[in-house]
Amino acid sequence: MKKKILLLSLLFQSLMYSQQDAWIYLTDKENVAASISNPITILTQKAIDRKNAQGVVIDARDVPVTESYITQLKAQIGITVLAKSKWFNAVHVRGSEADINALTVLSFVDYIDFADKSLNTGRPSVQQSKFDTEEALINFVYGNSQVQIDMINLDNLHVSDYTGDGITIAVLDAGFPNVNTMSAFQRLRDNNDLLNGYDFVNRTSNVYAYTGNSHGTLVLSDMAGFVQDQFVGTAPDASYYLFRTEDAATENPVEESYWVEAAERADSLGVNIINSSLGYTTYDNPNYSYTPSDMNGLTAFITKGANIAAEKGILVVNSAGNSGAGSWQIVGAPADAAGVFSIGGVDASGNYASFSSRGDASQPTLKPDVVAQAAGPYVINQSDNITTSNGTSFSSPIMAGAIACLMQALPSMSPNQIKQFIRQSASQYSTPDYFLGYGIPDMQMALNLALSVIEFETVQSKIYPNPVNDILYVQLSSVSENTEVTIYNVLGKVVLQQKLSELNSSVDVSSFSSGLYMLSISSNKNSKTLKLIKS
């Protein structure tokens, strides 16, 4: 009997693995020039406005995949079309190796990239696990969410009425059951901030149906949940699109393609922030799996897609992963992308959570970027109950919501500027590591740093670079004989005072210890002060 079961199991695996996944890259697109010259035909006005405000060029990547090509692919023997990507001008298909290779006879097929890299004989392309779960003045009573809010000093932004209003967040996750009926999201619905979404796995607009997993509901709660005097998410007044891209029942690279499709949809809709509490490293078919060395910010399909999303002006926030205590250890895709703001995890006391995935020297930028509470944060489950959970799946939305509040306060700042101010505000900015990255952010300090820069730019003065290593450059619109720069340490003690007699001057701070300082420039007429960080 056992032998029969074993044989059936082997037969099932053989049949399952005989079906291959591949990306079909296409040669061209229709009506590219016409679409770019009339972008409202391919993007929403909000997306166009966001790109214009950030100086992001609308290009051929914004033009949809040619539908007639997709129709022809669907008509091919043994081929199932599962997803498409306008950014890559590619279509994700499934079929036998022979049937997929036969697609090369089609004139519009440029090249084929199998998920099983050993099958690639032509032009090569490069592509863990599952979603990252261990499983006017406003005065909120945060209740259960107090610690996770206080840890990043977000309450001060809320008090100043920066609660995410006017910022749109796309949540890419595994399932969002009951979000349309739960009382915890009543505030969201009453304010018309629940913008619906799409299930890319089942190809349906019913994104609230239960599909075997409620991970997305929990993730959303840490941003958008609100229970009077008991729980407040980090951005209760932001607007949200919900996109299901993760099939919790299986591990297959098509989920990467779903993710890229959703990111493209988010871009077209003018979304400001993507939160993705997902990560990919290994698959059910081991031939599709990545290795830790592939987490280099360049290889995975989803990583490359996330970088394009960042290029398009979206601030992409992604959980670092929960592999820190296992053999894998390092952050997975797409958190390895240079353009992604990757969030690791700490406990309620601010100590490194041992499961939080770590950075690695092979990655293009320091990972994780920053951390928030991942061990024991409060969430709201699909039964409308406040409870706790574990995983960087939750530190990510905690930060994504906080970023929405900061973005609301700084409408003229680009996503890259906002990310840098958050890094600069973090607890170990001067001494980052692969466990906590730059550390725990202080959102009020990030806002102050940004406002200081804005204030100086307003009076046509510029202090750079900030953070500074050795030489600080001071560019002024005018000087007098009494113009001087004064730098104070955190105790208020003067550590440098220097007269400025020219419009362009330099200040040597190479002898300063790393840390935070206050810099003041004064003259007979006025004075300006800003925070200065010595690296």
* pLDDT > 60? residue 123: no
Dump pLDDT digits (tens) for 135-179: 445 689 999 999 999 999 999 999 999 999 999 999 999 999 999
What pLDDT does 482 receive?
73
pLDDT digits (tens, 9 = 90+) for 347-380: 999 999 999 999 999 999 999 999 999 999 999 9
Residues 499, 411 share a domain: no
140: amino acid identity, one letter? F
Domain ends where: 450, 483, 511?
A: 450
Q: What is residue 122's predicted lDDT score, i.e. its pLDDT?
A: 55
Same domain for 150 and 105, yes or no, is no
Residue 524: CATH number of its domain? 2.60.40.3080
* Percent of the chain predicted with pLDDT > 70: 90
pLDDT reported for residue 74:
95
**Three-state SS sequence of 273-339:** EEEECCCECCCCCHHHCCCHHHCCCCCCHHHHHHHHHHHCCCEEEEECCCCCCCCCCECCECCCCCC
The verdict on 307 and 394 lying in the same domain is: yes
Q: Does 107 share its domain with 22?
A: yes
Please report, rounded to a whole number, the percentage of residues in the chain having pLDDT higher than 90: 74
512-526 mean pLDDT: 78
| pLDDT band (50, 70, 90) for residue 501 | confident
- Contact assessment for residue 94 and residue 254, using Cβ atoms and an 8 Å cutoff: yes
Cα–Cα distance for residue pair 311/32, rounded to 1 Å: 19
Q: Which of residues 26 and 492 earns the better pLDDT score?
A: 26
Q: Which of 411, 431, 450 is the last residue of a domain?
A: 450
Q: Stretch 434-443: mean pLDDT, rounded?
A: 97
* Tokens of residue 410, six digits: 């700084």
Contacts of 270 (CB under 8 A, 6+ apart): 43, 44, 45, 46, 47, 48, 49, 50, 168
**For this structure, is 215 an active site residue?**
yes
Residue with tokens 């002060």: 529
Mean pLDDT of 201-222: 96
The answer to whether residue 522 sits within a structural domain is: yes
Question: Which residue is catalytic, options 145, 357, 393, 395?
Answer: 393
The SS3 call for residue 88 is coil
Partnered with residue 445 across adjacent β-strands are none
For CA atoms 377, 237, 271, 24, the dihedral sign is positive
SS3 54: helix
Q: Flag whether pLDDT at 129 surpasses 70.
A: no
Return the structure tokens found at 232.
């407040």
Q: Is residue 131 part of a domain?
A: no
What CATH number is associated with residue 74?
A: 3.30.70.250
Strand segments, DSSP code E, in 381-423 are 386-390
Q: Which helix (H) or strand (E) holds 409?
A: helix 392-409
**Count of alpha carbons within 13 angstroms of residue 253, beta-carbon side:** 31
Element (H, E) at 181: none
Q: What confidence score (pLDDT) does residue 66 get? A: 95
Q: How far apart are CA 64 and CA 183, in angstroms?
A: 38
Asked, for residue 43, whether it belongs to a domain, the answer is yes
Task: Check residue 126 and give its pLDDT.
Answer: 39
8 in a structural domain:
no
Let me know if residue 291 belongs to a domain.
yes
What is the C-alpha to C-alpha distance for residues 167 and 13, in angstroms, rounded to an integer?
46
Whether 484 and 411 share a structural domain: no
For residue 505, pLDDT over 90 is answered with: no
Residues 55, 190 share a domain:
no
Residues whose CB is less than 8 angstroms from the CB of residue 191 and which lie 6 or more positions away in sequence, other chains included: 237
Would residue 221 count as lying in a domain?
A: yes
**pLDDT tier, 460 (very low <50, low <70, confident <90, very high otherwise):** low
**Is the C-alpha dihedral spanning 325, 329, 333, 335 positive or negative?**
positive
Q: How many domains does the chain have?
A: 3
* Other C-beta atoms lying within 10 Å of the C-beta of residue 473: 14
* Upper half-sphere CA count for residue 135 (Cβ side, 13 Å): 7
> Kind and range of the H or E element at 269?
none
Mean of the pLDDT values across residues 409-433?
Answer: 93
Q: Strand pairing partners for 462?
A: 475
Rounded to an integer, what distance in angstroms lies between the CA atom of residue 319 and that of residue 389? 14
User: Phi and psi dihedrals of 440, rounded to 5?
Assistant: -90, 120
| Interval 68-78: pLDDT, tens | 999 999 999 99
| Residue from 94, 90, 68, 69 nearest 81 by CA | 94
Residue with tokens 């005018």: 478
Q: Are residues 161 and 239 in the same domain?
A: yes
Q: Is 514 helix (H, G, I), strand (E, B) or coil?
A: coil
Query: From CA 89, how far away is CA 403, in angstroms rounded?
Result: 31
**Which secondary-structure segment (H or E) carries 367?**
none
Look at 515 and 279; give whichever has higher pLDDT: 279
Nearest to 467 by CA among 516, 403, 426, 427: 516
Average pLDDT of span 173-193 = 97
**Mean pLDDT, residues 478-492:** 76
pLDDT at 325 over 50: yes
Of 415, 450, 485, which one is at a domain's C-terminal end? 450
- Using 50, 70 and 90 to split pLDDT, how confident is the model at 332? very high
> Which tops the pLDDT comparison, 187 or 123?
187
Tell me what the mean pLDDT of segment 25-53 comes to: 91
Tokens of 238: 């932001």
Catalytic residue among 129, 215, 277, 396: 215
Higher pLDDT, 300 or 468: 300
Q: Is residue 127 part of a domain?
A: no
Q: What is the pLDDT of residue 11?
A: 47
My answer on whether 376 and 474 are in the same domain is no
Q: How many CA atoms lie within 13 A of 358 on its CB side?
A: 17
The pLDDT score that the predictor gives to residue 526 is: 64
* pLDDT number for residue 472: 87
pLDDT for 516 equals 80
Q: Does 328 lie in the same domain as 276?
A: yes
Predicted local distance difference test score (pLDDT) of residue 515: 81
Q: What does the alpha-carbon distance between residue 109 and residue 90 come to, in Å, rounded to a whole number?
A: 9
Least confident window among 49-53, 239-243, 293-297:
49-53
The CATH number of the domain holding residue 163 is 3.40.50.200
Q: Which residues of 113-140 are buried (b: 16+ CB within 10 A; e: fewer)?
A: bbbbbeebeeeebebbbbbbbbeeeeeb
Respond yes or no: is residue 92 known to be catalytic. no
215 inside domain:
yes
Q: What domain range is 92 assigned to?
A: 16-119
Residue 318: count other Cβ atoms within 10 Å of its Cβ. 32
Chain centroid to Cα 157, Å, comes to 21
Say if residue 286 is preceded by a cis peptide, omega within 30 of 0: no
Of 124 and 169, the structure prediction assigns the larger pLDDT to: 169
pLDDT band at 65 (very low <50, low <70, confident <90, very high): very high
Q: Which residue has the higher pLDDT, 499 or 218?
A: 218
Q: Are residues 483 and 428 part of one domain? A: no
pLDDT in the model for residue 203: 97
* Same domain? 93 vs 241: no
Is residue 481 pLDDT above 70, yes or no? Answer: no
> Which is catalytic among the residues 116, 132, 155, 173?
173
Contact 276, 318 (CB under 8 A): yes
Interaxial angle between packed helices 301-311 and 254-268, expressed in degrees from 0 to 180 and rounded to the nearest 10: 10
Average per-residue pLDDT in the chain? 90
Q: Rounded to the nearest 10 degrees, what angle do helices 443-458 and 415-425 cross at?
A: 120
- Same domain for 463 and 446: no
Region 476-495 average pLDDT: 77
